[in-house]
Amino acid sequence: MTAFLSVDHNPIALEAKTDSVLLLSLQDYSLLHLHKRKTFTPVNMLKEKIHLLAARYSNDMSEVRRHLHAHPELSEKEKETAAFICARLEEYGISYRNNVGGNGIIAVIKGRDPELKTIALRADMDALPITEQNEVTYKSLNAGVMHACGHDVHMTCLLGAARILNELKLEFEGTIRLVFQPSEEKFPGGALAMIKEGVLENPVPERIYGQHVLPTLEAGKVGFKTGKYMASTDEIYLTVKGKGGHAATPELNVDTVLIASHIIVAMQQVVSRSAPPGIPTVLSFGRVIADGRTNIIPSQVKIDGTFRTFDETWRAKAHEKIVVVANGIAASMGGSCEVFIDKGYPFLVNDLEVTNDAKQLAAEYLGAENVVDLEQRMTAEDFAYYSHMIPACFYRLGVKSPGWKEIRNLHTSVFDADESSIEVGMGLMAWIAMNNY
Ligand SMILES: [Zn+2]
Ligand SMILES: [Zn+2]
Protein backbone atom coordinates (compact mmCIF):
# COMPACT_ATOMS: atom_id res chain seq x y z
CA MET A 1 0.00 0.00 0.00
CA THR A 2 2.79 2.40 0.89
CA ALA A 3 4.52 1.70 -2.40
CA PHE A 4 1.29 2.21 -4.33
CA LEU A 5 0.55 5.51 -2.66
CA SER A 6 4.01 6.82 -3.36
CA VAL A 7 3.62 5.86 -7.01
CA ASP A 8 0.20 7.45 -7.15
CA HIS A 9 1.58 10.74 -5.91
CA ASN A 10 4.09 10.79 -8.71
CA PRO A 11 2.22 12.25 -11.69
CA ILE A 12 4.70 10.86 -14.22
CA ALA A 13 3.96 7.26 -13.23
CA LEU A 14 0.19 7.61 -12.92
CA GLU A 15 -0.75 5.42 -15.85
CA ALA A 16 1.56 2.54 -15.18
CA LYS A 17 0.22 0.97 -12.03
CA THR A 18 -3.14 -0.47 -12.88
CA ASP A 19 -2.40 -3.74 -11.01
CA SER A 20 -2.13 -1.90 -7.79
CA VAL A 21 -5.74 -0.88 -7.99
CA LEU A 22 -6.55 -4.08 -6.14
CA LEU A 23 -5.00 -2.55 -3.06
CA LEU A 24 -8.02 -0.54 -1.99
CA SER A 25 -8.35 0.89 1.45
CA LEU A 26 -11.57 0.37 3.37
CA GLN A 27 -12.39 4.04 2.92
CA ASP A 28 -12.03 3.72 -0.84
CA TYR A 29 -14.39 0.75 -0.88
CA SER A 30 -17.00 2.61 1.09
CA LEU A 31 -16.77 5.66 -1.19
CA LEU A 32 -17.13 3.48 -4.28
CA HIS A 33 -20.10 1.73 -2.77
CA LEU A 34 -21.70 4.90 -1.47
CA HIS A 35 -21.69 6.68 -4.79
CA LYS A 36 -22.02 3.64 -7.05
CA ARG A 37 -19.26 5.19 -9.10
CA LYS A 38 -17.76 3.25 -11.90
CA THR A 39 -14.36 4.84 -12.03
CA PHE A 40 -11.47 2.44 -12.41
CA THR A 41 -9.25 3.85 -9.71
CA PRO A 42 -10.55 4.39 -6.18
CA VAL A 43 -12.29 7.72 -5.84
CA ASN A 44 -9.77 9.43 -3.56
CA MET A 45 -6.84 8.42 -5.74
CA LEU A 46 -8.62 9.58 -8.86
CA LYS A 47 -9.27 12.94 -7.23
CA GLU A 48 -5.59 13.20 -6.41
CA LYS A 49 -4.66 12.36 -10.00
CA ILE A 50 -6.90 15.12 -11.34
CA HIS A 51 -5.44 17.64 -8.87
CA LEU A 52 -1.95 16.67 -10.00
CA LEU A 53 -2.75 16.93 -13.70
CA ALA A 54 -4.54 20.27 -13.23
CA ALA A 55 -1.51 21.60 -11.37
CA ARG A 56 0.83 20.22 -14.02
CA TYR A 57 -1.08 21.90 -16.86
CA SER A 58 -1.94 25.16 -15.10
CA ASN A 59 0.94 27.30 -16.46
CA ASP A 60 0.39 26.02 -19.95
CA MET A 61 -3.35 26.67 -19.74
CA SER A 62 -2.71 30.20 -18.44
CA GLU A 63 -0.79 30.78 -21.68
CA VAL A 64 -3.80 29.45 -23.60
CA ARG A 65 -6.06 31.86 -21.72
CA ARG A 66 -3.73 34.79 -22.37
CA HIS A 67 -3.70 34.04 -26.08
CA LEU A 68 -7.48 33.84 -26.19
CA HIS A 69 -7.80 37.01 -24.10
CA ALA A 70 -5.45 38.94 -26.36
CA HIS A 71 -7.34 37.81 -29.50
CA PRO A 72 -11.03 38.26 -28.71
CA GLU A 73 -13.66 37.99 -31.44
CA LEU A 74 -17.26 39.18 -31.51
CA SER A 75 -20.30 36.88 -31.66
CA GLU A 76 -20.55 34.92 -34.93
CA LYS A 77 -17.00 36.01 -35.83
CA GLU A 78 -15.06 33.52 -33.69
CA LYS A 79 -13.05 32.12 -36.64
CA GLU A 80 -9.52 32.51 -35.23
CA THR A 81 -10.74 31.43 -31.81
CA ALA A 82 -12.20 28.25 -33.30
CA ALA A 83 -9.02 27.56 -35.27
CA PHE A 84 -6.97 27.99 -32.09
CA ILE A 85 -9.18 25.55 -30.18
CA CYS A 86 -9.03 23.00 -32.99
CA ALA A 87 -5.22 23.25 -33.01
CA ARG A 88 -5.10 22.64 -29.25
CA LEU A 89 -7.46 19.64 -29.54
CA GLU A 90 -5.24 18.18 -32.26
CA GLU A 91 -2.19 18.75 -30.08
CA TYR A 92 -3.90 16.84 -27.24
CA GLY A 93 -5.00 14.05 -29.63
CA ILE A 94 -8.74 14.68 -29.24
CA SER A 95 -11.05 14.25 -32.23
CA TYR A 96 -13.56 16.96 -33.06
CA ARG A 97 -16.04 18.33 -35.58
CA ASN A 98 -15.92 22.06 -36.36
CA ASN A 99 -18.24 24.61 -38.03
CA VAL A 100 -21.18 23.34 -35.99
CA GLY A 101 -23.87 26.04 -35.76
CA GLY A 102 -21.43 28.64 -37.08
CA ASN A 103 -18.01 28.53 -35.42
CA GLY A 104 -18.94 25.85 -32.89
CA ILE A 105 -16.84 22.77 -32.19
CA ILE A 106 -17.87 19.40 -30.77
CA ALA A 107 -15.03 17.26 -29.46
CA VAL A 108 -15.37 13.75 -28.14
CA ILE A 109 -13.47 11.75 -25.54
CA LYS A 110 -14.41 8.09 -25.27
CA GLY A 111 -13.88 6.29 -22.01
CA ARG A 112 -14.31 2.59 -21.40
CA ASP A 113 -17.65 1.32 -22.75
CA PRO A 114 -18.30 4.59 -24.65
CA GLU A 115 -21.87 3.62 -25.62
CA LEU A 116 -22.93 3.43 -21.99
CA LYS A 117 -23.78 7.12 -21.59
CA THR A 118 -22.75 10.57 -22.74
CA ILE A 119 -22.05 13.62 -20.58
CA ALA A 120 -21.73 17.07 -22.19
CA LEU A 121 -19.56 19.98 -21.03
CA ARG A 122 -20.03 23.41 -22.60
CA ALA A 123 -17.96 26.59 -22.89
CA ASP A 124 -18.89 29.73 -24.82
CA MET A 125 -16.45 31.45 -27.17
CA ASP A 126 -17.43 35.02 -28.03
CA ALA A 127 -16.24 38.41 -26.75
CA LEU A 128 -17.93 41.81 -26.39
CA PRO A 129 -17.72 45.20 -28.14
CA ILE A 130 -15.80 46.83 -25.26
CA THR A 131 -12.38 48.54 -25.28
CA GLU A 132 -10.19 46.95 -22.63
CA GLN A 133 -8.70 49.30 -20.05
CA ASN A 134 -6.56 46.77 -18.18
CA GLU A 135 -2.83 47.37 -18.64
CA VAL A 136 -1.79 43.72 -18.72
CA THR A 137 0.61 41.84 -20.97
CA TYR A 138 -2.32 39.91 -22.45
CA LYS A 139 -4.45 43.02 -23.12
CA SER A 140 -6.79 42.71 -26.10
CA LEU A 141 -5.04 43.29 -29.42
CA ASN A 142 -8.34 43.61 -31.28
CA ALA A 143 -9.47 47.23 -31.05
CA GLY A 144 -12.84 47.67 -29.42
CA VAL A 145 -13.27 43.97 -28.64
CA MET A 146 -12.69 42.37 -25.25
CA HIS A 147 -13.26 39.10 -23.42
CA ALA A 148 -15.18 40.97 -20.73
CA CYS A 149 -17.48 38.08 -19.82
CA GLY A 150 -14.73 35.54 -19.10
CA HIS A 151 -15.44 33.30 -22.08
CA ASP A 152 -11.65 33.08 -22.55
CA VAL A 153 -11.51 31.44 -19.12
CA HIS A 154 -14.42 29.12 -19.98
CA MET A 155 -12.73 27.88 -23.18
CA THR A 156 -9.44 27.44 -21.34
CA CYS A 157 -11.01 25.45 -18.51
CA LEU A 158 -12.82 23.21 -20.99
CA LEU A 159 -9.60 22.64 -22.95
CA GLY A 160 -7.80 21.86 -19.70
CA ALA A 161 -10.55 19.49 -18.59
CA ALA A 162 -10.40 17.84 -22.03
CA ARG A 163 -6.69 17.29 -21.63
CA ILE A 164 -7.15 15.71 -18.21
CA LEU A 165 -10.09 13.57 -19.30
CA ASN A 166 -8.25 12.38 -22.39
CA GLU A 167 -5.29 11.38 -20.28
CA LEU A 168 -7.55 9.53 -17.83
CA LYS A 169 -9.96 8.04 -20.36
CA LEU A 170 -9.42 4.51 -19.13
CA GLU A 171 -10.59 5.63 -15.71
CA PHE A 172 -14.24 6.31 -16.57
CA GLU A 173 -17.13 4.78 -18.47
CA GLY A 174 -19.05 6.48 -21.24
CA THR A 175 -18.33 9.39 -23.54
CA ILE A 176 -17.60 13.02 -22.73
CA ARG A 177 -18.82 15.49 -25.35
CA LEU A 178 -17.05 18.86 -25.27
CA VAL A 179 -19.11 21.72 -26.63
CA PHE A 180 -17.36 24.94 -27.67
CA GLN A 181 -20.29 27.22 -28.43
CA PRO A 182 -20.11 30.51 -30.34
CA SER A 183 -22.28 33.61 -30.08
CA GLU A 184 -23.63 33.45 -26.55
CA GLU A 185 -23.79 37.23 -26.25
CA LYS A 186 -26.01 37.90 -29.26
CA PHE A 187 -29.59 36.87 -30.06
CA PRO A 188 -30.65 34.31 -31.13
CA GLY A 189 -27.55 32.74 -29.53
CA GLY A 190 -25.20 29.98 -30.65
CA ALA A 191 -26.83 27.35 -28.44
CA LEU A 192 -29.93 27.18 -30.65
CA ALA A 193 -27.81 26.90 -33.79
CA MET A 194 -25.78 24.06 -32.28
CA ILE A 195 -28.94 22.31 -31.05
CA LYS A 196 -30.35 22.52 -34.58
CA GLU A 197 -27.17 20.85 -35.81
CA GLY A 198 -27.53 18.01 -33.34
CA VAL A 199 -25.29 18.88 -30.41
CA LEU A 200 -27.76 17.16 -28.06
CA GLU A 201 -28.36 14.12 -30.28
CA ASN A 202 -26.81 10.76 -31.22
CA PRO A 203 -26.99 9.98 -28.41
CA VAL A 204 -28.79 12.48 -26.19
CA PRO A 205 -26.40 13.37 -23.34
CA GLU A 206 -27.65 12.34 -19.92
CA ARG A 207 -26.40 15.59 -18.42
CA ILE A 208 -24.87 18.86 -19.52
CA TYR A 209 -22.69 21.21 -17.46
CA GLY A 210 -21.67 24.80 -18.04
CA GLN A 211 -19.18 26.77 -15.97
CA HIS A 212 -19.20 30.59 -15.88
CA VAL A 213 -16.93 33.02 -14.09
CA LEU A 214 -18.33 35.10 -11.21
CA PRO A 215 -16.36 38.29 -10.39
CA THR A 216 -17.84 38.66 -6.89
CA LEU A 217 -16.64 35.21 -5.81
CA GLU A 218 -13.04 34.66 -4.71
CA ALA A 219 -10.81 32.47 -6.89
CA GLY A 220 -10.72 28.99 -5.40
CA LYS A 221 -14.45 28.94 -4.71
CA VAL A 222 -17.42 27.81 -6.80
CA GLY A 223 -21.15 28.41 -6.46
CA PHE A 224 -24.35 26.48 -7.20
CA LYS A 225 -28.08 27.13 -7.30
CA THR A 226 -30.74 24.50 -7.93
CA GLY A 227 -33.91 25.26 -9.88
CA LYS A 228 -34.56 28.48 -11.76
CA TYR A 229 -31.27 30.36 -11.72
CA MET A 230 -31.17 32.91 -14.56
CA ALA A 231 -33.92 34.92 -16.22
CA SER A 232 -35.49 34.82 -19.65
CA THR A 233 -34.59 37.88 -21.67
CA ASP A 234 -36.37 39.81 -24.40
CA GLU A 235 -35.35 43.01 -26.15
CA ILE A 236 -38.05 45.66 -26.34
CA TYR A 237 -37.95 48.25 -29.14
CA LEU A 238 -40.52 51.05 -29.10
CA THR A 239 -40.84 53.74 -31.76
CA VAL A 240 -43.10 56.62 -30.72
CA LYS A 241 -44.50 58.57 -33.64
CA GLY A 242 -46.13 61.99 -33.53
CA LYS A 243 -45.83 65.30 -35.31
CA GLY A 244 -42.55 67.15 -35.00
CA GLY A 245 -42.33 70.90 -35.05
CA HIS A 246 -41.18 74.09 -33.36
CA ALA A 247 -40.97 73.65 -29.61
CA ALA A 248 -42.69 76.99 -29.20
CA THR A 249 -45.83 75.85 -31.04
CA PRO A 250 -47.00 72.82 -29.04
CA GLU A 251 -50.56 73.27 -30.29
CA LEU A 252 -49.38 72.36 -33.82
CA ASN A 253 -47.33 69.31 -32.77
CA VAL A 254 -47.91 65.82 -31.38
CA ASP A 255 -45.14 65.78 -28.78
CA THR A 256 -43.26 62.50 -29.11
CA VAL A 257 -40.91 63.29 -26.22
CA LEU A 258 -43.79 63.75 -23.81
CA ILE A 259 -45.52 60.59 -25.09
CA ALA A 260 -42.28 58.63 -24.68
CA SER A 261 -41.87 59.93 -21.13
CA HIS A 262 -45.39 58.82 -20.20
CA ILE A 263 -44.82 55.40 -21.77
CA ILE A 264 -41.58 54.84 -19.83
CA VAL A 265 -43.26 55.70 -16.53
CA ALA A 266 -46.40 53.67 -17.28
CA MET A 267 -44.35 50.64 -18.31
CA GLN A 268 -43.17 50.29 -14.73
CA GLN A 269 -46.75 49.37 -13.85
CA VAL A 270 -46.43 46.29 -16.04
CA VAL A 271 -43.97 45.06 -13.43
CA SER A 272 -45.40 46.58 -10.25
CA ARG A 273 -49.13 45.98 -10.94
CA SER A 274 -49.34 43.06 -13.35
CA ALA A 275 -46.45 40.71 -12.52
CA PRO A 276 -47.38 37.89 -10.13
CA PRO A 277 -45.53 38.95 -6.93
CA GLY A 278 -43.81 35.58 -6.66
CA ILE A 279 -42.15 35.84 -10.05
CA PRO A 280 -39.09 38.11 -10.23
CA THR A 281 -39.49 40.53 -13.13
CA VAL A 282 -37.46 43.43 -14.52
CA LEU A 283 -38.33 45.90 -17.26
CA SER A 284 -35.56 48.43 -17.88
CA PHE A 285 -35.01 50.95 -20.66
CA GLY A 286 -31.40 51.84 -21.38
CA ARG A 287 -31.62 53.74 -24.63
CA VAL A 288 -33.90 56.66 -25.44
CA ILE A 289 -33.26 58.61 -28.63
CA ALA A 290 -35.17 61.85 -29.06
CA ASP A 291 -33.00 63.58 -31.58
CA GLY A 292 -34.57 67.01 -31.60
CA ARG A 293 -33.05 70.25 -30.33
CA THR A 294 -33.82 72.72 -27.57
CA ASN A 295 -36.41 74.22 -29.86
CA ILE A 296 -37.32 71.28 -32.09
CA ILE A 297 -39.71 68.47 -31.18
CA PRO A 298 -38.67 65.35 -33.17
CA SER A 299 -41.30 63.43 -35.11
CA GLN A 300 -40.21 60.14 -33.57
CA VAL A 301 -38.56 58.87 -30.40
CA LYS A 302 -36.96 55.47 -29.97
CA ILE A 303 -36.97 53.61 -26.65
CA ASP A 304 -35.02 50.36 -26.25
CA GLY A 305 -35.12 48.12 -23.23
CA THR A 306 -35.02 44.63 -21.78
CA PHE A 307 -37.70 42.47 -20.17
CA ARG A 308 -36.66 39.62 -17.90
CA THR A 309 -38.55 37.09 -15.86
CA PHE A 310 -38.88 33.43 -14.80
CA ASP A 311 -42.22 32.17 -16.09
CA GLU A 312 -43.26 31.52 -19.69
CA THR A 313 -47.01 32.18 -19.19
CA TRP A 314 -46.35 35.50 -17.48
CA ARG A 315 -43.70 36.34 -20.07
CA ALA A 316 -46.26 35.99 -22.90
CA LYS A 317 -48.83 38.04 -20.97
CA ALA A 318 -46.28 40.76 -20.24
CA HIS A 319 -45.46 41.06 -23.93
CA GLU A 320 -49.15 41.70 -24.65
CA LYS A 321 -49.33 44.19 -21.80
CA ILE A 322 -46.33 46.13 -23.11
CA VAL A 323 -48.00 46.47 -26.52
CA VAL A 324 -51.35 47.55 -25.01
CA VAL A 325 -49.79 50.14 -22.66
CA ALA A 326 -47.52 51.63 -25.35
CA ASN A 327 -50.30 51.83 -27.94
CA GLY A 328 -52.89 53.07 -25.47
CA ILE A 329 -50.80 55.91 -24.10
CA ALA A 330 -49.56 57.00 -27.51
CA ALA A 331 -53.11 56.98 -28.92
CA SER A 332 -54.53 58.90 -25.95
CA MET A 333 -52.02 61.67 -26.69
CA GLY A 334 -52.63 61.77 -30.43
CA GLY A 335 -49.63 59.73 -31.52
CA SER A 336 -48.81 56.10 -32.15
CA CYS A 337 -46.23 53.58 -31.01
CA GLU A 338 -44.71 50.68 -32.91
CA VAL A 339 -43.63 47.84 -30.67
CA PHE A 340 -41.11 45.21 -31.66
CA ILE A 341 -40.24 42.52 -29.11
CA ASP A 342 -37.22 40.39 -29.96
CA LYS A 343 -37.83 37.25 -27.94
CA GLY A 344 -34.57 35.99 -26.51
CA TYR A 345 -33.39 33.19 -24.25
CA PRO A 346 -35.74 31.32 -21.90
CA PHE A 347 -35.04 31.19 -18.15
CA LEU A 348 -32.25 28.82 -17.13
CA VAL A 349 -33.19 25.95 -14.85
CA ASN A 350 -30.66 23.86 -12.97
CA ASP A 351 -31.80 20.26 -12.50
CA LEU A 352 -32.14 19.43 -8.80
CA GLU A 353 -30.34 16.08 -8.86
CA VAL A 354 -27.62 17.06 -11.33
CA THR A 355 -26.88 20.27 -9.44
CA ASN A 356 -26.90 18.64 -6.01
CA ASP A 357 -24.55 15.93 -7.32
CA ALA A 358 -22.23 18.56 -8.82
CA LYS A 359 -22.26 20.54 -5.59
CA GLN A 360 -21.34 17.45 -3.59
CA LEU A 361 -18.58 16.61 -6.05
CA ALA A 362 -17.27 20.17 -5.81
CA ALA A 363 -17.19 19.88 -2.03
CA GLU A 364 -15.19 16.67 -2.36
CA TYR A 365 -12.80 18.19 -4.86
CA LEU A 366 -12.31 21.66 -3.35
CA GLY A 367 -13.46 21.25 0.26
CA ALA A 368 -16.94 22.18 1.49
CA GLU A 369 -15.67 25.58 2.66
CA ASN A 370 -15.04 26.53 -0.98
CA VAL A 371 -18.54 25.76 -2.22
CA VAL A 372 -21.22 28.44 -1.84
CA ASP A 373 -24.94 28.73 -2.56
CA LEU A 374 -25.93 31.31 -5.13
CA GLU A 375 -28.92 33.62 -5.40
CA GLN A 376 -31.22 33.72 -8.40
CA ARG A 377 -30.13 36.41 -10.88
CA MET A 378 -31.79 38.49 -13.59
CA THR A 379 -28.95 38.08 -16.07
CA ALA A 380 -29.50 35.62 -18.90
CA GLU A 381 -27.61 32.86 -20.71
CA ASP A 382 -28.34 30.82 -23.79
CA PHE A 383 -27.22 27.73 -21.87
CA ALA A 384 -30.89 27.99 -20.83
CA TYR A 385 -31.90 26.27 -24.09
CA TYR A 386 -29.93 23.16 -23.14
CA SER A 387 -31.41 23.27 -19.64
CA HIS A 388 -34.94 22.97 -21.06
CA MET A 389 -33.99 19.92 -23.13
CA ILE A 390 -31.84 17.74 -20.88
CA PRO A 391 -30.88 17.73 -17.16
CA ALA A 392 -28.40 20.57 -16.76
CA CYS A 393 -26.22 22.38 -14.26
CA PHE A 394 -24.81 25.85 -14.84
CA TYR A 395 -22.48 26.75 -12.01
CA ARG A 396 -20.08 29.56 -11.16
CA LEU A 397 -16.33 29.77 -10.91
CA GLY A 398 -14.87 32.38 -8.56
CA VAL A 399 -12.27 34.62 -10.25
CA LYS A 400 -11.80 37.46 -7.76
CA SER A 401 -8.20 38.03 -6.73
CA PRO A 402 -7.59 38.63 -3.00
CA GLY A 403 -5.67 41.81 -3.88
CA TRP A 404 -8.49 43.45 -5.82
CA LYS A 405 -10.33 46.12 -3.85
CA GLU A 406 -13.04 46.71 -6.45
CA ILE A 407 -15.28 44.13 -8.12
CA ARG A 408 -14.14 43.83 -11.74
CA ASN A 409 -17.56 43.16 -13.07
CA LEU A 410 -18.65 41.25 -16.16
CA HIS A 411 -19.25 43.35 -19.28
CA THR A 412 -16.97 46.17 -18.07
CA SER A 413 -13.67 47.38 -19.54
CA VAL A 414 -11.81 46.35 -16.36
CA PHE A 415 -13.03 42.78 -16.04
CA ASP A 416 -10.25 40.30 -15.33
CA ALA A 417 -9.87 36.87 -13.77
CA ASP A 418 -7.38 35.62 -11.20
CA GLU A 419 -5.64 32.91 -13.20
CA SER A 420 -5.47 30.53 -10.25
CA SER A 421 -9.14 29.92 -11.07
CA ILE A 422 -8.13 28.07 -14.24
CA GLU A 423 -6.53 25.18 -12.36
CA VAL A 424 -9.66 24.98 -10.18
CA GLY A 425 -12.05 25.23 -13.12
CA MET A 426 -10.44 22.64 -15.36
CA GLY A 427 -9.86 20.14 -12.56
CA LEU A 428 -13.39 20.49 -11.22
CA MET A 429 -14.97 20.06 -14.65
CA ALA A 430 -12.96 16.90 -15.23
CA TRP A 431 -13.83 15.60 -11.76
CA ILE A 432 -17.57 16.26 -12.22
CA ALA A 433 -17.61 14.73 -15.71
CA MET A 434 -15.83 11.56 -14.59
CA ASN A 435 -17.99 11.00 -11.54
CA ASN A 436 -21.40 10.86 -13.19
CA TYR A 437 -23.19 7.73 -12.22
ZN1 LIG B 1 -21.86 38.04 -20.99
ZN1 LIG C 1 -20.86 35.07 -20.32
CATH number, domain of 297, equals 3.30.70.360
Q: Do 248 and 334 have their domain in common? A: yes
Q: Which of 8, 78, 124, 126 is catalytic?
A: 126
- Comparing 12 with 65, the larger pLDDT belongs to 65
What confidence tens digit (pLDDT) does each residue in 144-200 have? 999 999 999 999 999 999 999 999 999 999 999 999 999 999 999 999 999 999 999
The reply to whether 226 falls in a domain is yes
Q: Do 114 and 224 have their domain in common? A: yes
Specify the number of domains making up the chain. Answer: 2
Distance (angstroms) between ligand 1 centre and the Cα of 186 equals: 9
Q: Among residues 314, 343, 372, which one ends one of the domains?
A: 343
The reply to whether 3 falls in a domain is no
- Is 382 among the catalytic positions? no
Can you give the pTM of this predicted structure?
Answer: 0.89
pLDDT of residue 39: 61
Asked if pLDDT for residue 12 goes beyond 90, the answer is no
Distance (angstroms) between ligand 2 centre and the Cα of 431 equals: 22
The reply to whether 355 falls in a domain is yes
| Residues 35, 437: Cα–Cα separation, whole Å | 8
Nearest to 401 by CA among 421, 425, 431, 386: 421
Q: Do 259 and 326 have their domain in common? A: yes
**What residue numbers bound the domain in which 108 lies?**
35-230+348-434
Relative to the alpha carbon of 152, which ligand is closest?
2
Relative to the alpha carbon of 186, which ligand is closest?
1
The reply to whether 312 falls in a domain is yes
Q: Do 354 and 336 have their domain in common? A: no
Asked if pLDDT for residue 420 goes beyond 60, the answer is yes
The reply to whether 30 falls in a domain is no
Answer yes or no: are the C-beta atoms of 354 and 391 closer than 8 Å: yes
Asked if pLDDT for residue 6 goes beyond 50, the answer is no
Q: Do 236 and 220 have their domain in common? A: no
- Is 126 among the catalytic positions? yes
Q: Among residues 343, 377, 394, which one ends one of the domains?
A: 343
Q: Which whole-number Å values give the CA distances from 332 to 81, 249, 256, 263, in the listed order?
A: 52, 20, 12, 11
| Residues 77, 145: Cα–Cα separation, whole Å | 11
The burial class, CB within 10 Å (0-12 / 13-18 / 19+), for 194 is buried
**What's phi and psi for 6, nearest 5 deg?**
-65, -35
Q: Among residues 293, 316, 343, which one ends one of the domains?
A: 343
Q: Give Cβ neighbours of residue 77 (< 8 Å, ≥ 6 apart).
A: 103, 126
Please give the average per-residue pLDDT across 314-342, as a whole number. 98
CATH number of the domain at 401, please: 3.40.630.10
Asked if pLDDT for residue 30 goes beyond 50, the answer is no
pLDDT of residue 437: 55
| Residues 341, 242: Cα–Cα separation, whole Å | 21
Please give the average per-residue pLDDT across 287-306, as a whole number. 98
Percent of the chain with pLDDT strictly greater than 70: 91
Distance (angstroms) between ligand 2 centre and the Cα of 188 equals: 15
The reply to whether 379 falls in a domain is yes
The reply to whether 11 falls in a domain is no
Asked if pLDDT for residue 237 goes beyond 90, the answer is yes
Q: Which of 184, 185, 311, 418 is catalytic?
A: 184
